[in-house]
């Protein structure tokens, strides 16, 4: 099974929407293929032929009304299912504002102040991943704390993409947290927690991928419960910081909740 994320820009939006939708289905082995910078009829035709050959479905975010209409027409002729994600929004906004959209792809990625802020934040998050670079931790806008496999790193990168300098600190059972962390403004801190049985599955899968035994204490339910209890104790000591349960949340959803509790 193949989904084609088709765009006249980078394709990031189409991929994000396809990925978010897929999470609602227990469907294994679905590939999402990016087809970016599709800006003329020839490229559209090639994508549609490819999708037809592979019995795929197209999810597209084309800002050009002409290209959208061409894709819909060609896909209909070839009987290829296609979903227009951006078109209805653009059409409704045009009616609401009573003006036509620019039809210029890639405007989101023009170099602006936001662009530089996002890049700086991403660089910061990478440098401050998993408890690194303590000497500049005070410059973080958000600091995530949690035991292993509570989505600290993906959340840090996503929040950085949103423009927030984010660091993440691992909580390790019976290992005291660095004294520096107690001097940080507690309003920057967020604790991450997860259902212990869910974490058993996540860690067990990780051990399997590494060729290790799932019987390791790392994936033991009792051990994980002790880790979570220790992390909860740390969260209390740091000033009853807000705690986000990531058990059933997508990264985007958890990140939105983090920004809400921090008032950002």
Domains annotated for the chain, with CATH where assigned, are: 2-109 (3.40.50), 113-261 (3.40.50)
Residue 111: the pLDDT is 46
Q: Is residue 106's pLDDT more than 60?
A: no
Residue 90: the pLDDT is 78
Residue with tokens 């950085």: 160
Which is higher by pLDDT, 96 or 180?
A: 180
- CA distance to 28, 150, 163, 215, 257, per residue, from 250 (Å): 18, 12, 19, 28, 11
**pLDDT tens-digit profile of 231-249?**
999 999 998 899 999 999 8
14 burial type by CB count under 10 A (0-12 exposed, 13-18 middle, 19+ buried): buried
**pLDDT tens-digit profile of 108-167?**
545 456 667 888 998 999 999 999 998 899 999 999 999 999 999 999 999 998 889 999
Q: For residues 167 and 159, give the distance between their C-alpha atoms in angstroms, rounded to a whole number.
A: 10
Model-level pTM?
0.63
**pLDDT tens-digit profile of 22-70?**
877 877 788 889 898 898 999 999 999 999 999 999 999 888 888 889 9
Q: Is residue 102's pLDDT more than 70?
A: no
């Amino acid at each position: 099974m193949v989904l084609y994320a088709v765009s006249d820009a980078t394709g990031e939006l189409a991929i994000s929407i396809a990925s978010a939708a897929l999470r609602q289905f227990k469907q294994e082995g679905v590939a999402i293929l990016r087809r970016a910078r599709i800006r003329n009829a020839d490229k559209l035709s090639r994508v549609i032929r490819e999708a037809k050959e592979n019995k795929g479905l197209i999810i597209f975010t084309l800002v050009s009304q002409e290209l959208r209409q061409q894709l819909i027409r060609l896909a209909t002729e070839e009987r290829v299912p296609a979903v227009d994600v951006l078109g209805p929004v653009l059409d409704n906004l045009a009616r609401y504002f009573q003006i036509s959209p620019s039809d210029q792809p890639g405007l989101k990625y023009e170099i602006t102040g936001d662009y530089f802020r996002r890049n700086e934040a991403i660089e910061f998050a990478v440098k401050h991943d998993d408890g690194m670079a303590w000497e500049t931790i005070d410059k973080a806008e958000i600091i995530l704390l949690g035991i292993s496999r509570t989505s600290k790193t993906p959340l840090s990168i996503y929040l950085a993409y949103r423009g927030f300098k984010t660091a993440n600190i691992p909580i390790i059972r019976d290992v005291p947290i660095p004294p520096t962390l107690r001097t940080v403004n507690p309003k920057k801190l967020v604790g991450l927690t997860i259902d212990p049985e869910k974490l058993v599955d996540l860690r067990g899968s990780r051990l399997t991928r590494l060729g290790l035994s799932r019987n390791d204490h790392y994936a033991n339910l009792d051990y994980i419960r002790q880790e979570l209890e220790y992390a909860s104790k740390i969260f209390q000591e740091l000033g009853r910081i807000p705690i986000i349960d990531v058990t059933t949340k997508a990264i985007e959803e958890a990140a939105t909740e983090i920004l809400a509790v921090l008032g950002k």
